[in-house]
Structure 1
């Protein structure tokens, strides 16, 4: 299997498309890093943590585009050229063929991370990013790259045409990234609940003067409008994000954000108390806050409402549960099923000779 991995790595790293791709990738990284640094220098804000998380997401985004293109035809191209038949005739097991190609595709995708490493190091140094955030976010990124490589190689083994395998890989990754986000937005608007709630709010009042006959005279009507805080019962409709948010659990971008430890400002260096200091934490807060039911359990008090009384993102995230391990577990099960299917598809159609004695 080690020899197969080495052969696959040699073929991939010597492909002609690597050099222009890496040059474009370096230019994009330099543009993102330089632009963020200029904004931070002009505004006097410490944007290093935001820059680090943005570079992590940029690397993940490029992987969703590049890995299927590199690994989507790994098995089907060998099948079309006759190389797969030669390997099948050797003592190598079908599972070793598939897993060697998946590991090689993952190792090849690490070139993206290695290329971004200098910029990530600069952002981590500039923003004083905690080592735990760096470690966990990069490990989660590597796990997602492994998932992309596995499903791309699996589809290449399942179908016979490389273009179809690449399209299926893009489709699956697109469903997990863009599709889950669209499903969450659409589901939040459609899944609603209407409840009768007690609301303590200001109600406008008017007093009228009547003549002696008991009928109101418009000319003598006195508008003494004012507001008074009263308890009223209202029918209100709430969007049930707490019932829809599980669709985001398998989203690669959500998994990386949810797995990374949250970081909130403490009122120093231009950071607001209890508010995210990086992009990963901001997305993590949105996911966790969706777990809370929007239906109030107590009286809604709108008379004493103020901006200072609102919970901070750090407080809204309190009491919620992490979901990244469920997402990774689901991705692992899906990848293993697809790799098993691909292994079955690349088995040689000829049975091994029987061990009968020849007379």
Structure 2
């Protein structure tokens, strides 16, 4: 059984090698990697210049270094969103158009081996983006406040997202006859996850509004004089709140929210008031981005500040501290759900591709030839 499994994966390894050699025949990959390294370098040193030179009074290398990891990962993700689907969007119909697919299908390999080999071959090509940025990633991991283990986990999640997008592109490449059509459909699907679902969340935001009766502080001034201390009393009122916990899942598959949520739970916490003379370190930009997703998932905080909250001192927790803790309670608890959605989409694309690569083929779409 072990020998059979080893043989199965050895065939997949040969197919991965064929896929990589086919891509290495051209010199465009060298240009692509050079452009990628240039773009990442410009983002890194451009952000350093803006952080250290534009506002010299607040220039702080430590503050910039805390965000270097997020900057590099964000640029990598942006480039991968464009490149990863493109690598597989023409993998099957392009080979069929060039009459090279039938040569491989004539060998004693299964349709699953062929599909997995093409998927992993495209994924390895896409991982070259991560390899090019590895010097900056190592720099960012060392300087990040998350810890090495959490930072490496963020890189692994980035690689898995690339694999999912390659699977989506492979499925469309098997479904459509023309490479241009599959490329457009793949990019449209990926950008729907990145932009379309957040736009749909914004459109549905107002529909989640619901009225609730809450008790809050009401202030009145004596003789309409604003120079005196106002009187405070707690009154009940009806206020409208948006229950975003009903539609937060629309934001979960967004990769630009998944990656910050991976590391945000280990980031420096936000400190509104500090008692010592030394200001505590601020969190990186990953924390507020992840808190946006966490706030949408937890929904509204159905409470308003009362008179007792306004008189809270240092020994008591204020209303605003409790609300901030409630809204950020889900930070770091949503990224695996969004990643699972992407994995399901990628697995669906791989399954479609494998079924379309079966030999003999039962039915083919119009305009698709066997060879």
**TM-score where L is the length of structure 2:** 0.80
Greater alpha carbon shift after TM alignment, 160-169 vs 24-33: 24-33
Task: Indicate the SS of the match to 2:127.
Answer: helix
Q: CA deviation at 1:32?
A: 1.6
Q: CA deviation at 1:136?
A: 1.0
Q: CA deviation at 1:110?
A: 0.7
In 2: Cα distance, 1:269 partner to 1:8 partner? 60
Structure 1, unmatched stretches of 5+, are 207-222, 352-359
Task: Render the CA deviation track for 1:55-99: whole Å, top value 9, x for unaligned.
Answer: 111101100001122221010011112111222222111111111
Aligned to 2:367: none
In 1: Cα distance, 2:134 partner to 2:277 partner? 26
Residue pair 1:54, 1:279 contacting (<8 A) in 2 also: no
Asked which structure has the greater CA Rg, the reply is 1
In 1: Cα distance, 2:114 partner to 2:212 partner? 58
Structure 2, unmatched stretches of 5+, are 1-11, 363-371
Task: Indicate the SS of the match to 2:137.
Answer: helix
Residue-pair matches, total: 332
Structure 1 residues 12 and 327: alpha-carbon distance in aligned structure 2, compared to 1, 3 A threshold:
same
Residue pair 1:154, 1:342 contacting (<8 A) in 2 also: yes
The correspondence for 2:253, drawn from 240, 244, 250, is 250
Q: CA deviation at 1:305?
A: 8.0
TM-align CA RMSD: 2.9
In 2: Cα distance, 1:22 partner to 1:200 partner? 60
Q: CA deviation at 1:7?
A: 0.5
Aligned to 1:264: 268
User: Does residue 61 in structure 1 map to residue 78 in structure 2?
Assistant: yes
Task: Indicate the SS of the match to 1:290.
Answer: helix
Aligned to 1:18: 29
Residue pair 1:71, 1:152 contacting (<8 A) in 2 also: yes
Residue pair 1:184, 1:247 contacting (<8 A) in 2 also: yes
Structure 1 residues 321 and 67: alpha-carbon distance in aligned structure 2, compared to 1, 3 A threshold:
closer
Residue pair 1:98, 1:157 contacting (<8 A) in 2 also: no
Greater alpha carbon shift after TM alignment, 278-287 vs 172-181: 278-287
Aligned to 2:111: 94
Q: How does 1:1-359 map to 2 (within 5 A)?
A: 1-41=12-52, 42=56, 43-46=59-62, 47-127=64-144, 130-204=147-221, 227-260=230-263, 261-265=265-269, 272=280, 277-297=283-303, 300-301=305-306, 304=310, 309=318, 310-311=320-321, 316-318=327-329, 322-349=333-360
